[in-house]
Amino acid sequence: VPHILVVGHYDCGAVRGSIGQPDDGGLGIVENWLRNIRDVARFHREEIMSIEDHESRVRKLVRLNVQEQCLNIFKVGTVQRRRMQSYMKQNYALP
């Protein structure tokens, strides 16, 4: 796979659910997706809560979630190995 795309979309039900639902496990398997978004919300709580408008808050969380998931790509073993291979071959790691 030569490229990985990480995307998000406004009006995302998972982002809305992560803000609007308590973290009690009551949503079943959906909790697996919400956990990551809730982590992003927790990491950026001050920034998100400084936004007064609820819809703007949700949109900001969508953008922050995409940024955080882009960083998470670098934690995947396959990506780390490919970056190391490019570094060894070209003396720099692919982004």
DSSP track, 41-56:
HHHTHHHHHT--SHHH
* pLDDT tens-digit map of 65-86: 999 999 999 999 998 998 888 8
Question: Which residues, other chains included, contact 32 with Cβ-Cβ below 8 Å and sequence gap of 6+?
Answer: none
- Residue 76 exposure: Cα atoms within 13 Å on the Cβ side: 9
- Torsion, Cα 17 23 28 31, to 10 degrees, reads 60
Distance CA 41, CA 16 (A): 11
pTM: 0.80
Task: Tell me: pLDDT of 48 over 80.
Answer: yes
